[in-house]
Structure formats: C-alpha cells, structure tokens
C-alpha cells in the first residue's frame, strides 16, 4: 500500500462503528464468509443511482480491504443511470493517497492504484447490468434512491442495503472537499470493519 493510504487505513480500523450499522455490515460479512467456506470468490456489486460517488467509493475500498486482508473478493459498481465518476469524488481519493490516471472526456475511464504491484482498478460510470455477470454476486445498495427504485436485480444472489448520505448536497460549497472526504472515510471504515471480521472468523 502507498504510505499515505497505510496511515488512513490505520485510522479507518480504529474508527468507531455505530451498533445499528453493524447489523447491515454483518450481512455483508456473512455473505463473504459463506463464499469462502465453499472456496468461492465473493463478488460484490455496489449500486447507487448514478454510479458517480458512493458506489465508486465502496468499490474502491472493498477492493483495497480485500487486498489488505488477502481475501478473494471481486468488487464492482454500477448505477441505475449512467453519468460519470464525479470529479469531486476523484479528487477525494487522490487526497487519500490513491494514484489516479484518466482517459477520455465524457464519462472518463479512471485507472486507480493503491500500491505499485496490484492490478489497477478501472473505474467509470456504468449501468449495473452493463456487463452481465454469470457468477452469483451480492448487490450492495449504497443509496436510498437506487434501493427503492430498483426493486429487482437480475442474477443477484443476495441483496444488502448499505445506504450512505450523498455528499452531492455539498457541491459548490465551502464544505465540499471536507464532506466528500468524510463520506469516503466512513465507507472505508465500515468496509474495513467487514473485512476484518471476515479475516478474524477465518482463524
């Protein structure tokens, strides 16, 4: 892991998690654990309306946590509508220490690295079923709108509600950067809690 990310991960692991949130996080941990028991790779698709902020954060942090704990997980993300990986969210992960490169103008493709050796993540806004997945996966709903307006996810083996407040409400305000970083860190802390629990239950 890049040094700045290591520092942030240490903070995320020490962050308190509210008891009511643990109920939802345990659902996700249990799904991953059950896959591991049958020696399968757990596939997670994080879904929000535009696949521009929260679901992208979640995809990134889930993959980082999986690499950190050496747990076989493939994370992806998608939306109900296609827009772009929001530039404010991109700026936030750069502040946290990720290495980011982009290609294209409309809905750019971003390559995101968290260390010098792992395969980079490819991130861009897409519909959740743009690339059909034949293997079973868990649909993790990261926003209320997508959760309420997308009642059926074809091929999803499990559906887990893990809603987060949208930092979009702070766009173009003095709190913009702070709130994007807070949301990203909250997602990081909760997903590291999930993967730490999975790792401990493997012992």
For residue 202, what pLDDT is reported? 83
For residue 153, what pLDDT is reported? 80
For residue 47, what pLDDT is reported? 93
Identify the segments of the chain with pLDDT beneath 70. 131-134, 149-151, 203
Q: What sign does the dihedral 114-185-192-126 (CA atoms) show?
A: negative
For residue 151, what pLDDT is reported? 64
Alpha-carbon distance of 30 to 149, in angstroms, equals 25
Question: What does the domain layout of the chain look like in residue ranges?
Answer: 3-202
For residue 197, what pLDDT is reported? 97
CATH superfamily name and code, 3-202 = Response regulator (3.40.50.2300)
For residue 132, what pLDDT is reported? 57
Helix (H, G, I), strand (E, B) or coil at 31: helix
What is the overall mean pLDDT for the chain?
93
Alpha-carbon distance of 16 to 193, in angstroms, equals 9
For residue 179, what pLDDT is reported? 98
Closest to 86 in 3D by CA, of 111, 115, 60, 57: 57
């Amino acid at each position: 892991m890049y040094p700045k990310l290591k520092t942030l991960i240490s903070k995320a692991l020490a962050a308190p998690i509210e008891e009511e949130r643990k109920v939802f996080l345990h659902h996700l941990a249990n799904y991953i654990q059950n896959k591991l028991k049958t020696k399968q790779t757990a596939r997670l698709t994080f879904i929000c309306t535009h696949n521009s902020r929260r679901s992208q954060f979640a995809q990134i942090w889930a993959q980082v946590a999986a690499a950190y704990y050496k747990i076989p997980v493939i994370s992806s993300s998608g939306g109900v509508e296609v827009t772009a990986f929001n530039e404010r969210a991109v700026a936030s992960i750069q502040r946290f220490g990720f290495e980011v490169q982009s290609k294209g103008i409309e809905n750019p493709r971003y390559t995101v690295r968290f260390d010098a050796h792992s395969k980079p993540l490819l991130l861009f806004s897409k519909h959740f079923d743009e690339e059909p997945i034949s293997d079973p996966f868990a649909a993790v709903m990261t926003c209320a709108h997508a959760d309420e307006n997308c009642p059926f996810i074809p091929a999803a083996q499990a559906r887990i509600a893990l809603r987060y407040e949208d930092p979009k409400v702070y766009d173009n305000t003095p709190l913009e950067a702070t709130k994007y970083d807070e949301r990203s860190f909250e997602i990081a802390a909760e997903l590291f809690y999930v993967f730490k629990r999975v790792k401990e239950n493997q012992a």
